[in-house]
Amino acid sequence: MAVKYIPEPFRIKMVETIKMLTREERIKKIKEANYNLFNLRGADVYIDLLTDSGTNAMSDKQWAGIMRGDEAYAGASSYYKLLEAGKDIFHYGYIQPVHQGRAAEKVLFPLVLSEGKFAISNMFFDTTRAHVILSGARPIDCVIEAAKHPFKRCKFKGNMDIEKLEKIILEKGPENIGIVVMTITNNSAGGQPVSMENIKKTSEICKKYNIIFDIDAARYAENAYFIKRDEEGYQDKSIKEIVQEVFSYADMFTMSAKKDTIVNMGGLIGVKDGNSPLILKIKAACISFEGFFTYGGLSGRDLEALAIGLYEGLDEDYLKYRNGQMEYLASRLDDAGIAYQAPIGGHGPFIDAKAMFPQIPYNEFPGQVLAIELYIEAGIRSCDIGSYMLGNDPDTGKQLHADFEFTRLAIPRRVYTQSHFDIMADAIIAVRDRADKIKRGYKITWEPPILRHFQASLEPIEK
């Protein structure tokens, strides 16, 4: 039985019209897009679940803040407002705005990584992995084994494998590990949360071997909600208190603010030690790549909206409703026997496309097959989180075989309502019901050397 949908703790003040094309039109559009959903025009999509990044609805307070944004080149009041919010929430000595998450990675990673070095994470997201490689180093994923089994329901499935982490550090030599990155929630593993205990243990290992511990904090508020809900001893703590404890274990954070901070553009770098020699280097790199360090590639109005969004993202009524949407959709999938990374994570279902299309091998991209079918079925845009996204080995050029083949339906914040969720569930079920008729997947006819999934062209493989 579907669980009860938790009503929105807000009402709608502004609307944006969406339109569904006919099935024939959608078949034509996806072909014209070379079977790459990133090539579709937004207007040709009915429910856009390509990403939950920058697609969120801002509040009346944030829009009001936009009008108050101070556009001074240096030292704008909106910068100081953001700085104070950042210091208040994270208790960090230095907060650097940047234009988005990958800018934080581009600024920070070359300062701590270079050829011959390694970066270890519970799981790198695609841009994070790319910036490790671009800095000359190599990324190593170290998620717990349970994450690789979508059917295995367990709490905190995004955790770092602590034993493996220490083993890799000793194998490669602690002096060769430039950084350990804890991604919360663990996006590539299905938006799965990481426990406080796991964050603490990872921090202890980093301290033991004198390695920088960085939090990739894109979905830190959703992660804190899971800790409050599921980890013993946190039920009576506020989300803010949980966030403060999480960040107390790290040395720094890189954040895409386009997710849990509920803005359309923005990112942050945080450094705990306000006297760290890294801060001057971060400021210098920022000036070269992003803009003067008091605006970091953002308008004053963006800084203002970000400062407000940092608090709104921590609101418990909002987080409960947000999580309720996921639980509602998950229960509809459970009722229909659809396999997904279970239990459902923080920002949407990751459907197990390998289970839905057992006849399609990893190198014909089952996750992409399902994404294309969902577009044809109901105008829903989702994306592959599997071998298609993972790409080729940077050293051998060979297609990598991902641990899982997911299709991610990433849910924007405060945007879609219960009826949209029913359309999502109905479409997934309809595709599953005809899945055995789809015999083959796709081949890549053109791809760029890095982050290929954004731009590649594909073609259906004929039977």
Binding site for ligand F0G (CB under 6 A): 51, 53, 100-102, 125, 127-128, 183, 187, 216, 218, 256, 258, 267, 410
**Residue 259 known to be catalytic:** yes
Cβ 390 to ligand F0G shortest distance, Å: 14
Q: How far is the CB of 127 from ligand F0G (least distance, A)?
A: 4
Query: Is 62 or 254 the residue whose CB approaches ligand F0G more closely?
Result: 254
Please state the closest distance from residue 322 (CB atom) to ligand F0G, in A. 16
* Minimum CB distance to ligand F0G, residue 281 (Å): 20
CB 376 within 8 A of CB 26: yes
By beta-carbon proximity to ligand F0G, the closer residue of 190 and 435 is 190
Out of 35, 90, 109, 125, pick the active-site residue.
Answer: 125
Of the residues 99, 258, 354, 453, only one is catalytic, namely 453
Whether 216 sits among the annotated catalytic residues: the reply is: yes
- From the CB of 43, what's the least distance to ligand F0G, in Å? 20
Nearer to ligand F0G, 96 or 127 (CB): 127
Q: How far is the CB of 275 from ligand F0G (least distance, A)?
A: 27
| Residue 453 annotated in active site | yes
Say which of 73, 167, 207, 433 is annotated catalytic: 73
Reply yes or no on whether 73 is catalytic.
yes
* Active-site entry in 52, 216, 251, 302: 216
- Catalytic residue (choose from 131, 228, 258, 259): 259
Q: One of 218, 307, 371, 456 is an active-site residue; which one?
A: 218
Whichever of 5 and 295 has its CB closer to ligand F0G, that residue is 295
Output the smallest distance, CB 254 to ligand F0G, in A: 7
Choose between 56 and 100: whose C-beta lies nearer to ligand F0G: 100
> What six digits make up the tokens of 56?
């969120």
Choosing from 48, 52, 126, 161, the catalytic residue is 126
Amino acid at 244: Q
Nearer to ligand F0G, 390 or 435 (CB): 390
Cβ proximity to ligand F0G: between 147 and 360 the closer is 147
Active centre residues (catalytic): 73, 125-126, 216, 218, 259, 453
